[in-house]
Amino acid sequence: MMWLLRQLRKDLWSPEVAGVGLGLVYVLALWLSHRAPGVSGTFFNTAAILGKPLTVGDPANQFFVTTFPPLTEGLGWQFYMVIGIFFGALASVLIAGKFKWTWIPIEQWRDVFGGAIWKRWVIAFVGGIILQIGAGIAGGCTSGLALAGGVQLSPAAFLFIPGIFISGAIVQLLVYRNKY
């Protein structure tokens, strides 16, 4: 019992232990709900609240009508899962006593790029835009394509993952050069 409490209060687990939990989430989701967890779709559903009225003049564009209808027209399974992710992470952080309001990442970012908030916020915003467009082109994100596809042995995942690592590594070579 004490051992369990100690584990729950830890800031980090070994990635392999946490990874077992990750695998179980995918097994149980497919078994119990016949669905694979994915996050980026819910962001499209949210964007559709604004996007549907904006594309109403173009009937050929059904993206915000049938593919990702607005959240306001009904909450799907993935939406509830995203809510669960937030509260699961929040519980983990609170039990570990690590909750802290921060403007920029304390570890590494500040040492390398300085303490300017605007710089980090611009990168986070632009990064979010690029990520979501990439997810739209690829057909999912790390959860809904790389992992969901990977565990089902879909070729899509094994094209997506190398794509991420090739460009991601090049970006870090350019950004960090010989810093840090």
Partner 1 sequence: MPVSVPDILVALVLGFLFGWVLDKGGLNRYYKIANVFRFTDLTVLRFMMTGMLVGMIGIYSLKALGLVDLTAVSATVLAGNLIGGAVFGIGMSLSGFCPGTCVAGAARGQLDYLIPGLLGFLSGGLIFGLIYRTDLIQWLLTAGRPELAYAKLPELLGVDPLLLVFVFSEAILIFLYVVGKTRARRRDVLETAVEQERVEAGLVDAPARPAESAGD
66 binds partner 1 per the rule CB under 8 A:
no
Distance CA 90, CA 145 (A): 25
Q: Which of residues 88 and 114 has its CB atom nearest to partner 1 in the complex?
A: 88
* Contact between 71 and partner 1 per CB under 8 A: no
Of 3-22, binders to partner 1 (CB under 8 A) are 10, 12-13, 15-22
Q: C-beta of 71: minimal distance to partner 1 in Å? A: 11
| 100 binding partner 1? (CB under 8 A) | yes
Residue of 6, 54, 56, 66 interacting with partner 1 (CB under 8 A)? 54
d(CA 38, CA 140): 7
Site residue total, partner 1 (CB under 8 A): 133
Query: Cβ contacts of residue 54 below 8 Å, gap of 6+?
Result: 64
Q: Binding of partner 1 at residue 2 (CB under 8 A)?
A: no
CA–CA separation, 12 vs 21, rounded Å?
14
Give yes or no for a contact between 51 and 64, defined as CB atoms under 8 angstroms apart.
yes
Cα-only R_g, the chain = 19
d(CA 42, CA 78): 6
Write down the least CB distance from residue 1 to partner 1, Å: 19
What is the rounded CA–CA span in Å between residue 87 and residue 105?
A: 21
Q: Which of 86, 97, 114, 116 binds partner 1 (CB under 8 A)?
A: 86
Which positions from 109 through 148 interact with partner 1, judged by CB under 8 A? 109, 111, 117, 120-148
What DSSP string describes 21-37?
A: HHHHHHHHHHHHHS---
70 binds partner 1 (CB under 8 A): no
- Closest contact distance (angstroms) between CB of 69 and partner 1 is 9
Smallest gap, in angstroms, from Cβ of residue 88 to partner 1? 3
